[in-house]
Amino acid sequence: MASKLLRQTLTKTNRTAAIRCFSTAASVAFPSEYEYPTGITMKGVKISGRPLYLDMQATTPVDPRVLDSMLTFYLSRYGNPHSRTHLYGWESETAVETARAQVAALIGASPKEIVFTSGATESNNISIKGVMHFYKDKKRHIITTQTEHKCVLDSCRHLQQEGFEVTYLPVGSDGLIDLDRLVKEIRPDTGLVSVMAVNNEIGVVQPVEEIGKICKEFNVPFHTDAAQALGKIKVDVEKWNVSLMSLSGHKIYGPKGVGALYLRRRPRIRVEPQMNGGGQERGIRSGTVPTPLVVGMGAACELAMKEMEYDENRIKGLQERLLNGIREKIDGVVVNGSMDRRYVGNLNLSFAYVEGESLLMGLKEVAVSSGSACTSASLEPSYVLRALGVDEDMAHTSIRFGIGRFTTEEEIDRAVELTVKQVEKLREMSPLYEMVKEGIDIKQIQWAQH
C-alpha cells in the first residue's frame, strides 16, 4: 500500500526531483535513472546526488511495512484512543493495546509494564529523575558510566545540582565496565544503577545480565538505555533483571517521535511523573497517545522479532566486508571498542595521520557520523572515546559507520572506495605520515613550542 501511494504521488509530481527524496527502503521500488541532474547544494556543500546512508545509529529509515500499518490511523481511523464513547476511540485504543503487546513481546515483558513516551530521551529522564525523586528520602546515590548517552549524563548532573551524589564508572579500553568496581561503588543509599546496553557511538554491548545479577543481590533497581539494543540483540527483561528500560521507535525502522519505557511490576518500581496532565499511561506519562506512531513502533517490534536473526547474519557479513575492504588497502586503521562484545551494525574506526574534520568533509558522498562533537568554539574529541583512553589525535579521526537492514553490498563497496580514496589523499598531504613511512617514531619527537 505504501509503495503504491508513493508511485501515485510521483506520477503527479516531478519524478526527477522527487524520487531520491525517499529512503533506501522506499526508493527500491523505483528505477535508478531518476537522479538530480545538477546535483544538490546544501549548507554550502555540493554533491552529485543523495549520499549513501551509513548512519543507522542516528536513525533508521521507516520500513515500508511499518508505514503500511500506520497509514490507516492517519487517514480513516484517526480517533483519540482515550475517547471512550464511540467507535473511533475504541478502535484506536485497541490498536494502541496491540502495539503495547508487540513491544512487550520483543523484550519478554507484560504489556502492562509498557508505558509509551516520545522517545528514549524522555524514558531516560523519567527513569533517572523519576526513581530518585520518588525514593529521595532514603536513596541519595546513583551509579552510571562515563560513556552513557548525553541525556543520561545530563539527567545525572541535574540530580547532582539537587544534592544527589553520582558515581561515574570508568570503562576499559574495550569500552566495558569493571564489574568488581561496580560492586565496590554500591552503597546502602544507592537508589539506581543505570548502564546503557549497547553504546550508540562504539556499539559495545555491556554485560547487562551480570550487572542485573549484582543489582538483584544488593536490592538496587537497575535501569538500562536499550535504544540501540532493541531489535538488534536479544533483549530479555527477566534474564537481565532490569527494573526500568528505555526504548526508541526510530532506531528499529519505526517512526520518530515515539518510544517506550519498561517499568517492572514485580517487584514493583515506582517513579515520580515528570509531566502533569490527564493521567494517561497509568499517570506516568500524561498526554494523548499518538496512535499512528505507537502502531508503527509496535509493527517495527513485531518485524524485528521475526527478522532479527536474519538481519544480524546479513549485517555481520556487510560489516566484515567493510572492515576487511578498508584494511586491505590502507594501514593505521583502528577499531574503537571491543570486537568480541559488539553489535555488528556499528563500526567505529579511527584513521591514523589524518585530520578528522577534513576526512568527514571529504566523505560527503557517504552519510556517516564522526566521533568528534562540534562545539561553537572548537572541535572536541568524543567523550566516549576519551573515556576509552583513545589518543586525542586518533579520537579526532573517528568515523562511525552504521549498517542496517536495507544496506547493500554495492553501498558497502562504494563506501570502502570513497573512504580509502579520501584517507590516501589526506595522507599524501600529511608530513607526519611521510615521517612514519621513513621509520621515524613521531611519539619520541620533542616538538618545539613557538
DSSP 3-state of 90 = helix
96 and 85 Cβ atoms separated by less than 8 Å:
no
Sheet-wide strand order for 190-194: 114-117, 259-263, 244-248, 222-225, 190-194, 141-145, 165-169
**Nearest alpha carbon to residue 222 among 175, 174, 262, 249:** 262
What cell was used for 261? 519505557
- Which positions are annotated as active-site residues? 374
What whole-number distance in Å separates Cα of residue 210 and Cα of residue 222? 11
Q: How many CB atoms lie within 10 A of CB 287?
A: 16
142 and 164 Cβ atoms separated by less than 8 Å:
yes
Exposure string of 302-329, with b = 16+ CB inside 10 Å and e = fewer, is bbbeeebeebbebbeebbebbbebbeee
What cell was used for 74? 492517519
319 and 403 Cβ atoms separated by less than 8 Å:
yes
What whole-number distance in Å separates Cα of residue 77 and Cα of residue 86? 12
What whole-number distance in Å separates Cα of residue 295 and Cα of residue 101? 11
What whole-number distance in Å separates Cα of residue 314 and Cα of residue 295? 27
